Amino acid sequence: MTSMTVNGEAIHYKLDPETPLLFALRDASNLTGTKHGCYSGDCGSCTVIVDGRAVLSCQLTIAAAEGADVTTIEGLSADRAHPLQQAWASEQVSQCGRCDPGFIMALAALMRATPNPAPEQLAQLPNICRCGATPRILKAVARAAQVAAPLAAFAPPKAEQSNSIRFSNGSSIEDQIPPNDS
Ligand code: FES
Ligand code: FES
């Protein structure tokens, strides 16, 4: 069993420890916002944040993420309030949408440390858009950077403190305890 925190919730994956984090998130946790693109580390569509850093989840086994704090696009903000998500909508970035979550997660990690990233920093991201939306993505980054201070302070919401333990089949420990009829 491999344990980690995903979007603020303790998760115990009963999977082969060599399973890529991407598949654990998508197939066991049903967090399908994280996209499967190339599976070779070349497209960035699978990017999630692990312990504060942008990581290609197709290249990380769950064993390597043991004990980590993982944030996916579903956990980035409540009600899609993150400035990058807002800017994405304002600039109508999305075309097919496959690259969007990975771009947003990579940029969210980058812009927490560097609220107004230089073009060279953006060019170093592994993320690519096959639909040609890159000019709109750059506009969205510029728009989000206008709220640089709030962006720097923006942290993924902490889930309510709970003793809930969720397993990779979706059940929780509460599901396995019969209700007390008394
Ligand atoms: S699917 Fe992970 S980098 Fe392309
Ligand atoms: S919108 Fe289709 S890959 Fe970027």
Q: Which pLDDT tens digit goes with each residue over 45-98? A: 999 999 999 999 999 999 999 999 999 999 999 889 999 999 999 999 999 999
Query: What's the CA-to-centroid distance between 6 and ligand 1, angstroms?
Result: 19
Distance CA 55, CA 71 (A): 10
The pair phi, psi for residue 55, each rounded to 5°, is -135, 140
Q: Which pLDDT tens digit goes with each residue over 89-145? A: 999 999 999 999 999 999 999 999 899 999 999 999 999 999 999 999 999 999 999
Name residues whose C-beta falls within 8 Å of residue 30's C-beta, 6 or more positions apart in sequence: 170
Closest among 153, 65, 139, 68 to 103, alpha carbons compared: 139
Mean pLDDT of the chain: 87
Distance CA 45, CA 38 (A): 8
What percent of the chain is predicted at pLDDT more than 90? Answer: 77
Domains of the chain, earliest start first: 2-156 (3.10.20.30)
Q: What residues flank ligand 1, with Cβ below 6 Å?
A: 36-39, 41-46, 56, 58
According to the model, what pLDDT value does residue 155 have? 62
